[in-house]
Amino acid sequence: MGPDNQTWVKEFILLGLSSDWDTQVSLFVLFLLMYLVTVLGNFLIVLLIRLDSRLHTPMYFFLTNLSLVDVSYATSIVPQLLAHFLAEQKTIPFLSCATQLFFSLALGGIEFVLLAMMAYDRYVAVCDPLRYSAIMHTGLCARLAATSWVSGSLNSVMQTAITFQLPMCTNRYINHISCELLAVVRLACVDTSSNEVAIMVSSIVLLVTPFSLVLLSYVQIISTILKIQSAEGRRKAFHTCASHLTVVALCYGMAIFTYAQPHSSPSVLQEKLISLFYAILTPMLNPMIYSLRNKEVKGAWQKLLMKFSALSSKVTT
């Protein structure tokens, strides 16, 4: 291909979910409500953990990080998606597209590694409870959280750099709801095999490896639980892991399906639905899962509501 054709476009056009106006308005209302619930739910979880001293434990330290990652990930995609539902021309500047790709990749990678750190925390809590406080001390928790943020960010810097150095020629139409990695790579008018290798490597480092650590942790956890003599003891031990295990099943399942094999990736419609799942549904469900399935969180909610009720009574009287 001649050098004249190997140009970098100044903006892209996202094809989105639908071109029908009525459908877009309906989706705008639906996704706006879901986004507001996501922001409110995760904000309340973080606030609750800060206000209740009983939740100042490693598990809830990691949950705070997870909530911050979830709401940030949703914010990196959903506001732009909502704006495009009401826009005739769904354009996104080159720099904005690169920025969106960076943040969505970084936050996605951070979440996967963070879930592995949370699995290790649950492993220590169940398999070595007597030394839990000594092992999961503040310094270690901070280092584990920092590892997840740094590894996800470094991977995103690399992927964003090698993706946006590709010549797009005259290809401006991204058949997706956002500047998603595979959708942008497909626009290139040169061989992208090196990019696909990089995607595969990052999938192994930030997806397969953390998932393997999660599986290993839960093999040990289940083995320990089965050795507990009393049914009540087994129930309590499993209950400490139930919320995290549910979130793990939600987050890792589709990601492995999507990114582990770029050559045999799902259809464009499936990719859009998977992106919506991670951008809207998962961040909205995570705080609900931890609130509904966790006695400590439910107890903290009740305590906080009682305080507000007492305060309201004093104000009215």
- Chain segment 132-150, per-residue pLDDT in tens: 999 999 999 999 999 999 9
pLDDT of residue 312: 63
How many whole angstroms separate alpha carbon 40 and alpha carbon 52?
18
Which CATH number applies to 11-308?
1.20.1070.10
Are residues 169 and 5 in contact, defined by beta-carbon separation less than 8 angstroms?
yes
Q: Is the dihedral of CA 91, 93, 96, 97 positive or negative?
A: positive
Domain residue spans of the chain: 11-308
pTM for the complete prediction? 0.87
The percent of the chain in helix, strand and coil, each rounded to the nearest 5, is: 80, 5, 20
Question: What would the pLDDT profile of 79-133 be if each residue is shown by its tens digit?
Answer: 999 999 988 888 999 999 999 999 999 999 999 999 999 999 999 999 998 999 9
